[in-house]
Amino acid sequence: MNQLDQLKQYTTVVADTGNFKQLAQFTPRDATTNPSLILKAVQQADYAPLLAETVAAHRQQPLGDIVDEVLVRFGQEILKVVPGRVSTEVDARLSFDTACTIARGRRIIALYERAGIGRDRVLIKVAATWEGIQAAKALEHEGIHCNLTLLFAFCQAVACGEAGITLISPFVGRIYDWYKKQAGASWDEAAMAGVNDPGVKSVSQIYTYYKHFGIETEVMGASFRNIGQINALAGCDLLTISPDLLAQLQAGTEPVTRRLDPAAAKSASVHAVTYNEADFRYALNEDAMATEKLAEGIRGFAADAIKLDKMIEELRK
């Protein structure tokens, strides 16, 4: 078996792309999108007509509504290819506004349901700020399932578990990037690879904590830089992987062994922690990597959301 097929024995494989025409060859169960991936897709000739068609059909609506129509249209196309779920992201500019995040999540779900797609096939993607976690908690109580993204710190994962969130996406590659940049010339790539990779270690810690205490929130490793990081997390609930890395896994034949196991997590020595708002904010502040990467991620997604807004504004003139 190739490495992708081996990985699927232990982990649910998810495609991290807005390019739905690439999906079938990798047969993922789910797919994830974000503003940057959608922006990248609509700039390609294959997808530009889909954007233009959607904007033309809704040109009289407010800009924010048209954006959601575009995101949901891509989600609909993706769900024609994958048998499971698609993650559709709330505007990153709402990351610190609980009420507006709830409203946007409800609107996205309503658009999917109007298209005949049940809410069990959609995850509303929200940044794992304190406000985002509280918004997702409220949405979950309404039966709207959420994927908490831009997750870098253990406190974010604990708070999501306590809030009853369906799924979290810890960002392996961005954690790795931060520590590599901090180390500079002293970084030893070989020594910090595999299970020693700081991003891999972060996801492993979260997985162990959740399984040890029976927390039902699913862990989906995200943002990978190489297949070594992916293989080091074989056994994680889900892994969302870019098409380029999916292709590398499909071409590889080296053995893939299970690294994360719920039975091992159950027997691990783990201490329970809990966070109120003040504790959460302090713990996040104490983690320089998480603080910087969360802020950077929100800024990056917001910038791409603005670019998509401008494209839509031009099309509806």
Q: Residue 317 pLDDT > 90, yes or no?
A: no
pLDDT tens for each residue of 42-95:
999 999 999 999 999 999 999 999 999 999 999 999 999 999 999 999 999 999
As a whole number, the mean pLDDT across the chain is 97
Owning domain of residue 181: 3-315
Number of structural domains, the chain? 1
Q: Which residues pair with 167 in a beta bridge?
A: 147, 218
| CB contact at 8 A, 169 and 240 | yes
**Has 8 been annotated as catalytic?**
no
From residue 221, how far is each of 11, 25, 188 by CA, in Å?
10, 21, 23
| 98's tokens | 């609980």
For residues 231 and 258, what is the distance between their CA atoms, to the nearest angstrom?
8
| CB contact at 8 A, 154 and 162 | no
For residue 210, what is the domain's CATH number? 3.20.20.70
pLDDT at residue 55, rounded to an integer: 96
Residues 6+ apart with CB under 8 A from 99: 135
**Residue for token pair 């056994």:** 235
| CB contact at 8 A, 312 and 52 | no
pTM of the model: 0.96
Q: Residue 237 pLDDT > 90, yes or no?
A: yes
Catalytic one among 8, 40, 125, 266?
A: 125
